[in-house]
C-alpha cells in the first residue's frame, strides 16, 4: 500500500487551513481560524472548534515528504502558538468555548481543540506558562462537564485529553475523572461492538472513538480497554466497502467518516487492524475519499491522516477476503450480506436504506422514498430514511422492512429565530446551555414524526441477483407534488454528514408521473432487479 496517499490527501488541505487563519500579528484576532468571524465579520463570536486547525499545521511542519512546502517552515511555529493563545483568549473564564451559538459551552469543540493544542504544543517544543494554565483550566471544565446526548467519540476525546495533559504536566490531578470517563465510554459500547452515537451505530464516528482509545491504551494500557478496542476494530472491518469507501447514509449519523490512525496503533498488537487501512487506501487511490474541505470540518481528517502516515507500520499482513454470508447487527439495525460477488449494506432501522456493490463497484445507493407534500402554503418532505422501529422480517433469501414514512427535519434559522436564540443565550440560556442543546437536538436530530404514507420494502435473492420490490400506499395522493428516490438523502442535522463522495454521482429516480396516475387508496409499486 502507498502510505503517502494519507499525507498527500491531508497536505492538500493546508493552504485552505492557512487561508482560514488570521496571520496578521498586529490584528486583535491574530491566530483565529474562524474566517467568518475575523474576515467576513458576519457572526458575533468565533467558533471554538476552529482552533483545532493548529494540529494539521504542526503535523505538516513535521511531515518530511517530497513536495511538502510546509516542512520545517519556521513561520508555522509562530502561527501555531498564536492559534493556541487565541483558543485561550476566546474561551470562557471557566475554560469552555462556544461552537454554534453564544454561551453554548460545547464539549466537542472544547475537547477537539484541547487535544489539538496539547499535541501541537509538544510537537513544536513550546514553553509558555500562559498556555499551560489554559490547558489546565479547559481540562478541569471537561473533566466535570457532562453534555446532553450520547456521543461516545466526545467522551473518548476527553479521556485522551486528560491522559495527555497528565503526562505533559506529570500530574495526577485528573486520575479520578479519567477513570470515571473511561468507564462511561466502555459502558456505552454495545455488546455487538459499536459505540453509541445518538440513536445507534455510526461506523464513521466509531473509527474516531477507536483512534482516541488506541492512544489512551498506549498511554495507560489495561486488558479491559484492549478487549473493547479489539471488539470495536473487528466490527469496523465489516464496513470497508469492496471499492475502498466507508460508511454512508445507511448509518445512524449518515457519515463517510474514516479516521485511520487508530488502526495503525492497534496494528502493533492486532495485525488484522492494518487490513482496514489497506482497504481504505485502495479507495483513496481510486479517488473515493469524501470531501471534508469546508470551513468547519476540514481539520479532523487532516490531522488524523497525517498521524496515520507518521505511525504507518511498514510490515503488513496480506489483505484477507471478506467472509461470505450474512453479518447482522440486530441492535445496531444494520445487515450486511455478501454472496456471489455482491455486497449489500442495509439499514433495517432506517426503513431499508441500502448500498449494493457488485464485482467491487457501487451499483446502487438508495436512500428510500421521498415525497414533497403540500400542506396549505408549505411544502413538507416525507421520507423513509429516518431511524425508527420498523417491522422487519428476515429469511434466508428474503428481507422485508415495513412501516410509515416520517416528516424530514427541515428547520432553517431565520432572523426571528436567530434573534430569539441570542436573547435567550444572553439572558437565562447562559446558565442552562445543556438544556438549550437538548432542545435543539430534539428539533434537529432525534425522533421521528410519522407521515400518512405506509411502505413495504422487500429484498429477495434469486438467479444470482437482488430483486427489490417497493410498495407505497396512502389514503390520498392529492397533496403529493413530487416523488422519487435519491442516492444520498439525509434529514437530520449532523455536522459531518452531507459531504460529497463520488458514489453519489447517481441520478435521481423520479417517480412523480407514476404517483400522479394513482387514485386515492391505490398503491405505488416499484420493482427492480440488480
Question: Residues 207-248: pLDDT tens digits?
Answer: 999 999 999 999 999 999 999 999 999 999 999 999 999 999
Q: Which residues pair with 342 in a beta bridge?
A: 339, 358
What's the whole-number mean pLDDT along residues 501-509?
A: 95
Q: Is the pLDDT of residue 387 over 90?
A: no
Query: Which pLDDT belongs to residue 453?
Result: 97
**pLDDT confidence bin for 442, thresholds 50/70/90:** low
Q: How far apart are CA 418 and CA 497, in angstroms?
A: 23
> Which of 221-235, 466-480, 486-500 shows the lowest mean pLDDT across its residues?
486-500
Domain map (residue ranges) of the chain: 1-147, 333-409+450-529
What's the whole-number mean pLDDT along residues 407-417?
A: 80
Query: Which pLDDT belongs to residue 444?
Result: 63
Q: Is the pLDDT of residue 180 over 90?
A: yes
What's the whole-number mean pLDDT along residues 298-319?
A: 97
Q: Is the pLDDT of residue 445 over 70?
A: no
Q: Is the pLDDT of residue 8 over 70?
A: yes
What's the whole-number mean pLDDT along residues 491-516?
A: 92
Helix and strand tally (H, E) in the chain? 17, 16
Q: How far apart are CA 294 and CA 345, in angstroms?
A: 28
DSSP H helices in 63-128: 74-90, 107-123
Specify the higher pLDDT residue, 100 or 371: 371
> Which of 193-207, 225-239, 266-280, 332-346 shows the lowest mean pLDDT across its residues?
193-207
Q: Is the pLDDT of residue 383 over 90?
A: yes
What's the whole-number mean pLDDT along residues 13-30?
A: 98
Average pLDDT of every residue of the chain: 94
Amino acid at each position: 500500500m502507498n502510505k503517502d496517499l494519507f499525507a498527500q490527501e491531508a497536505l492538500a488541505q493546508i493552504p485552505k487551513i492557512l487561508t482560514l487563519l488570521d496571520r496578521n500579528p498586529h490584528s486583535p484576532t491574530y491566530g483565529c481560524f474562524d474566517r467568518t468571524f475575523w474576515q467576513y465579520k458576519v457572526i458575533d463570536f468565533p467558533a471554538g472548534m476552529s482552533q483545532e486547525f493548529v494540529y494539521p499545521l504542526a503535523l505538516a511542519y513535521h511531515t518530511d515528504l517530497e513536495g511538502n512546502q510546509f516542512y520545517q517552515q519556521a513561520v508555522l511555529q509562530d502561527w501555531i502558538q498564536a492559534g493556541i493563545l487565541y483558543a485561550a483568549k476566546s474561551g470562557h473564564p471557566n475554560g469552555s468555548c462556544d461552537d454554534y451559538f453564544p454561551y453554548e459551552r460545547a464539549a466537542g469543540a472544547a475537547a477537539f481543540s484541547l487535544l489539538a493544542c496539547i499535541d501541537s504544543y509538544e510537537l513544536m517544543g513550546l514553553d509558555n506558562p500562559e498556555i499551560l494554565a489554559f490547558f489546565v483550566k479547559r481540562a478541569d471544565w471537561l473533566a466535570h462537564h457532562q453534555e446532553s446526548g450520547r456521543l461516545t467519540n466526545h467522551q473518548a476525546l476527553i479521556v485522551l485529553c486528560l491522559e495527555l495533559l497528565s503526562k505533559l504536566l506529570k500530574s495526577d490531578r485528573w486520575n479520578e475523572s479519567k477513570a470515571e470517563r473511561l468507564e462511561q465510554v466502555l459502558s456505552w459500547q454495545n455488546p455487538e461492538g459499536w459505540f453509541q452515537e445518538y440513536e445507534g451505530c455510526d461506523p464513521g464516528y466509531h473509527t474516531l472513538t477507536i483512534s482516541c482509545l488506541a492512544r489512551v491504551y498506549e498511554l495507560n494500557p489495561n486488558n479491559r480497554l484492549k478487549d473493547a478496542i479489539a471488539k470495536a476494530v473487528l466490527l469496523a472491518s465489516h464496513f470497508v466497502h469492496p471499492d475502498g469507501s466507508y460508511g454512508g447514509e445507511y448509518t445512524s449519523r449518515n457519515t463517510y467518516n474514516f479516521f485511520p490512525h487508530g488502526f495503525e496503533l492497534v496494528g502493533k498488537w492486532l495485525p488484522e487492524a492494518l487490513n482496514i487501512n489497506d482497504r481504505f487506501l485502495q479507495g483513496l487511490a481510486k479517488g473515493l475519499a469524501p470531501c471534508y474541505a469546508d470551513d468547519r470540518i476540514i481539520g479532523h481528517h487532516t490531522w488524523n491522516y497525517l498521524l496515520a502516515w507518521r505511525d504507518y507500520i511498514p510490515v503488513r499482513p496480506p489483505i484477507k477476503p471478506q467472509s461470505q454470508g450474512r453479518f447482522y447487527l440486530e441492535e445496531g439495525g444494520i445487515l450486511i450480506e455478501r454472496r456471489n460477488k455482491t455486497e449489500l449494506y442495509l439499514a433495517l432501522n432506517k426503513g431499508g436504506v441500502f448500498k449494493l456493490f457488485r464485482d467491487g463497484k457501487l451499483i446502487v445507493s438508495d436512500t428510500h422514498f421521498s415525497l414533497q407534500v403540500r400542506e396549505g402554503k408549505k411544502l413538507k418532505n416525507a421520507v423513509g430514511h429516518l431511524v425508527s422501529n420498523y417491522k422487519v422480517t428476515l429469511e434466508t433469501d428474503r428481507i422485508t422492512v415495513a412501516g410509515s414514512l416520517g416528516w424530514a427535519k427541515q428547520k432553517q434559522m431565520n432572523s426571528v429565530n436567530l434573534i430569539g436564540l441570542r436573547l435567550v443565550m444572553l439572558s437565562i440560556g447562559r446558565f442552562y446551555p445543556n438544556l438549550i442543546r437538548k432542545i435543539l437536538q430534539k428539533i434537529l436530530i432525534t425522533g421521528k414524526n410519522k407521515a400518512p404514507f405506509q411502505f413495504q420494502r422487500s429484498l429477495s435473492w434469486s438467479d444470482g441477483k437482488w430483486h427489490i420490490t417497493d410498495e407505497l400506499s396512502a389514503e390520498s395522493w392529492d397533496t403529493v407534488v413530487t416523488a422519487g428516490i435519491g442516492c444520498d438523502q439525509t434529514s437530520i442535522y449532523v455536522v459531518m454528514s452531507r459531504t460529497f463522495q463520488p458514489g453519489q454521482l447517481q441520478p435521481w429516480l423520479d417517480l412523480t408521473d407514476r404517483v400522479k396516475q394513482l387514485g386515492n387508496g391505490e398503491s405505488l409499486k416499484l420493482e427492480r432487479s440488480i
